[in-house]
Every structure is written in structure tokens, then in C-alpha cells.
Chain A
Amino acid sequence: MSAELMKGNVAIAEAAVRAGLEAYFGYPITPQTELLEHLSKRMVELERVFVQAESEVAAINMVYGAACAGARVMTSSSGPGISLMQEGLSYIAASEVPCVVVDMMRGGPGLGNIQPSQGDYFQVTRSAGHGDYHPIVLAPASVQEAIDLTFEAFDLADKYRHLVFVVGDGLIGQMMEPAVMPEMRPIRPRPDWAVSGKDGREKHIITSINLGAERNEAANLRIQDRIRVIRENEQRSLEWNIEDARILVVGFGTAGRVALSSVKMAREAGLPVGLFRPITLWPFPEKRLAEIVDGGIQAILVVEMNAGQMIDDVRLVVGHDVPVSHYGRLGGAVPLPDDVLHEIEKIAANIGLTATAMAG
């Protein structure tokens, strides 16, 4: 199949349709509205479920209902809407039902603006709601990756009966790139555990209430067991020019993409720099990062479109072994390759690396 020029938001929506999305519930918010608009037509065409809810609070609780019914279900939003969804996300996580949530991050806090941001990193990776859990969080850096990860997100959600986030930013959502769409998959059958009317079997109940400390601790431990399995099995990342690197740049999504340009420029200038781009923000790809750092990395630069959020996860991996610094743009500003290059050059000078030395 040949590549077509597609806008990120539309590509994600269509990838979800092809992954067998049965129901979508959402509320308009920039910069993800094209996603909802595309589905308002496609889902109806295909006689699937599309509802524009009265709020993100209602949307996520509709998702919760459809997820309990065993349907493949999705919603999408941006920071302010994801904040409103925290309640429902926590109930979904506690109830162990699968769903996919797209967050096209915008500049915050508050109403902020509609420019690209990565300010929701903490919000989506830590719990995205009250209580102890982590959603699976996938971070594409291109339209093609957004398609592929969205398509796969539904399988991950089913496999672990868990929340899966696909997080982009305004840039990923709004830009157009050539990309290839997967073939349409048939709608999968509803799982055995679903609520469907008891129909001759024992009744199925899906609830998140566990009165009594022992009972609720047992429920929590079950969630934590599953989280451990996810952490073991689902860490993903991409890397460039790692082999002989002494400085490692770490960035995800759009920031990772910008940083790749800077790394290439630094390499052209003879600096031993590599790039590590996490694809799963949770589970954070700690195993691979630790291996790379052990391979001779002397300094790390974390590039983000926030004030320093993923840097915490990087520091948890490397501890005090290697100096870790941060370059971030805030409030909807996107870092430029030259600025990141400048940061790389400063670090190189600090640790006594020079381009000439490398060239020699």
C-alpha cells in the first residue's frame, strides 16, 4: 500500500477504526478535535458507536460503560479534558477493563494555550487518577508511528485489561506527513468477562469498591502484579548513534524528533552524541537506558517540552553515576535544533570533549 499524506489526528482516528474500534465517546478540544470530527463520520458510516458527550467527565464514564460491556472503546482529549477524566480513569483502572485514551498535549497549566506541549507527562505516567497504578503510555514522534502505536494500543489494552494512553502533542496532531494505514481488521468478539446480561451463567459484576483494608489491599496487589508484568515485558525505545556515544540525548515525541536533528548536526561537527527516544513513557524503558549508559556515557541531556518531568525517570535509572541536565521549552514553545545543539556543545565542553579531539 502506498503512503498517503495524512494529518496526525485523522490518522490516529482512522487507525483506531481499523483496529476494530466499536465505540468512541469524546468532547471537542483543541488540538485534537479533528480526531473526533473524523470519527463522527466514519463510525456512523460503519454503523458503529459515536457519541459527542456533554463533557470529558461524561465521555470517560461512557467509555467505562462500553469497556465493561467488552467493546473496543476509545476517547481523546487534551490536558484540560484529561484532567476532568481523572475520576473515570481511576475507576477504569480499578475495574481492570481495557480502553484507549489519546492525549494531544497542549500548553498548560490552566487553560494555557493550544500550542504543542509535553506538560502532561507526570499526569499520564504516574496514575492519571487517584490511587496506585500506572497506565501504559505510548509516545509517537511521527504520523506513521502514531498510526502504528494506536493500532497496537488496543491489543495491549486487551492483553492486560488496562488503560493505554497514546500521547502526542499539538504538533503530532496537526502536522501532515506521508504514512501508510493498516488494513481494516474485523471487530473482535466480546470477551467472556464482559457484562452482557447473565443469560444462563453466573452474574458478572464490575465494580471498583472493595470495603475493608484486606480486601482492597488484595485488589491493589493484583493490579500491582499485572503492572510488574507490564514493566517487565513492554518497555520500548528507539536509538541513534549509540555505539560510540559519550553524550546521550534523551527525548520523547516531538522533542525527541527535534533532538534527532541536533544529534545529527553534532555528529557532523564530530561530537560523539547519541539519541535515546522512549516509545513507552510508562513503563519507562529503564533496562535499555541503563545498558546504554553503562556503555560509556559521560553526560546526559534530557530535552522536553516541559520544565523537567521525564528527567525524573532518567535520574531514577542513572542515579548519580552520570550528570543529567535538562533543556526544556515551556507553555507551548517547541525547542529548535540549533538550541539543542548549543546545549550539547556546552555539555561537551564541560566534560572536556571537543570535536577536534573526536575527529583526531
Chain B
Amino acid sequence: MVTREQELVRTVVYKHPEALEDVQTHYCPGCTHGIAHRLIAEVVDELGIQDRTISVSPVGCAVFAYEYFDLDGVEAAHGRAPAMATGLKRVWPDRVVFTYQGDGDLAAIGTAEIMHAAARGENITVIFINNAIYGMTGGQMAPTSLPGQRTKSSPMGRDVKIAGYPLRMSELLADMDGAAYVVRRSLHSVREIRKAKKAIRTAFMTQISGLGFSMVELLSSCPTNWGFSPPDALKWVEENMVPYYPLGDYKVIEAVKALE
């Protein structure tokens, strides 16, 4: 007879995801990219789609994301990941294609590409990392930097009279008829990370079911460029970003609800 203890030992409750390479990443200590990568890899494993998934990496801190996913992948020009994903998906309609994009990539230089991918109902999944700053270039103001936020290119704090206002991309994209699933989650706590994973799963399921454009926006931290310790950075996400970028479901069409 198998004892309760033996049963527990035999049950794997946590392991390195198959879809994630066992390598050291170049991300800074405390950065949430690693968490986002892991969640995606876990979902790919759970859905059994590693052999038919294609990643599209951005220009930005995640430019080498393809080195960390054990998946076929391409590296797009800055902001063009949704266009590149469109090309891939249209000629491989039975593959799963996702983009991984930061805020400068998706909400500044690539705004046209993301809006039109959503408007076309392009059957791709977008993971949008919003950390309110340009990370790779060393901490300049992002389209999503908060009013008053100090960055290397808004040293006195983002003055909306000069620099305008942040973009709320989930709200904007939810308005597109082609968007099937658009939600905002956060990576600042274990509870929120669990919710984020569930959303990523639903987004991939949306694509696999052919229901149209799906995007999960993930509020993320950048301790290095914000100049905070990793715990303080997570606190900053919760206290400053979440009020400006409310978490929630911005678009969930009926057919997607049926999947959940």
C-alpha cells in the first residue's frame, strides 16, 4: 500500500518547465521578465504545444527571449512583432504564434502594428510587459511612464504639458472588434502572478480555438532603472502603477468565456 508520504514524493508539484531553457538569463536581479518567461513556458507545457509554438521576440530587454524559450523563434524589428507574427501565423495557421513585447516596443514605436493586428482579429497572442520605462537603453521615459515619474529623459518627473500622457493599451485595444481577449494583470505578488498565469493560459487557448486576437498586459518592475530594491520595486508597482493601470478584464468575448 502506498502511504500518503510516498504518494507526495511521487507527485511532481514543481519543476523546470520543458519550454524554458536551463540557462542563466541576462535579466537584472529582481526583474520580473524571468517570472513572465516562466509562466509562458509553464502554459506551453500544460497545453502540450511546445512542438508547434513560435515565439516572436522584441527589441528591448527581452531581445534574447528566444534564447530562453525552448521553442522555434524569431527576433523582430522594434515594434514590428505583431506584423511579423501576422506573416508567420497566416502561413502557419495551425501553429501557435505569440509575441513578447515591452512598453516602448508595443506602445510607442509599434502602436500602429499592435492596433491593426487587434483590429484584424489576427489570431495571435501578445504578452505585453509594461514596466513604465525603457530598460535596455538605460531608463528613459516610456509611453507608459506615469505622470511625474522621474526617468533619464524626464529627470524632473514626466511633465504632461511637455511629454503628454501615458497610454493605457489594454483599454485601447479592447475597443477593437477583432480583439477576443484583452486583460491586464500584475506580477507584484504571488496572488497576482497566479492570476497572470491563468490569463496567459486563456490567451493561448483563445488562439488555439481560433477566436482572434488575445493580449495579456503584465505590470512589471524594473528595479535597476527605477533605482529601487526588488521588494520596493514590487511595492511601487502595487502602489503607483496599479491605480493608473487598473487590473482587470477589458475584453472577453462570449466564446472565450466558454473556454475558461
Contacts and interface: CB of A to CB of B under 8 A. Distances in A.
B157 to A, nearest CB: 33
Choose among B72, B88, B89 the residue with the greatest number of A CB atoms under 10 Å from its CB.
B72
Interface residues of A, number: 39
B116 A61 contact: no
Given A61-B87, A62-B87, A195-B54, A205 B112 contact: no
A331 to B, nearest CB: 30
Interface string B66-79: 11001111111100
Interface in B73-112: 73-77, 80, 83-92, 95-96, 112
Interface in A186-220: 195-200, 203-209
Contacts, number: 129
Contact of A198 (B72, B75, B86, B92): B72
Nearest to B78: A87
Contact of A91 (B56, B77, B90, B96): B77
Contacts of B54: 195-197
Choose among A197, A200, A206 the residue with the greatest number of B CB atoms under 10 Å from its CB.
A197
A63 interface: yes
A66 interface: yes
Given A197-B52, A203-B73, A205-B72, A54 B87 contact: no
Interface in A53-110: 53-55, 57-59, 61-69, 71, 73, 87-88, 91, 95
A64 B74 CA distance: 10
A14 interface: no
A68 B74 contact: yes
Contacts of A206: 73-75
A25 interface: yes
A353 interface: no
6 contacts: A54-B112, A58-B113, A64-B84, A198-B50, A207-B74, A207-B75
Contacts of A200: 51
Interface in B112-150: 112-113, 115-116, 120
B90 A51 contact: yes
B224 interface: no
B238 to A, nearest CB: 34
B218 interface: no
Interface residues of B, number: 37
Contact of A61 (B51, B57, B77, B92): B77
B87 A25 contact: yes
Contacts of B74: 65, 68, 95, 195, 205-207
Contacts of B80: 57-58, 61, 64, 87-88
A197 to B, nearest CB: 4
A22 interface: yes
A24 to B, nearest CB: 10
A25 B80 CA distance: 14
B53 interface: yes
A205 B91 contact: no
Nearest to A199: B51
Given A63-B87, A64-B77, 9 more contacts: A25-B86, A49-B91, A58-B80, A64-B87, A66-B90, A69-B88, A88-B80, A198-B50, A207-B57
Contacts of B95: 196-197
A65 B86 contact: yes
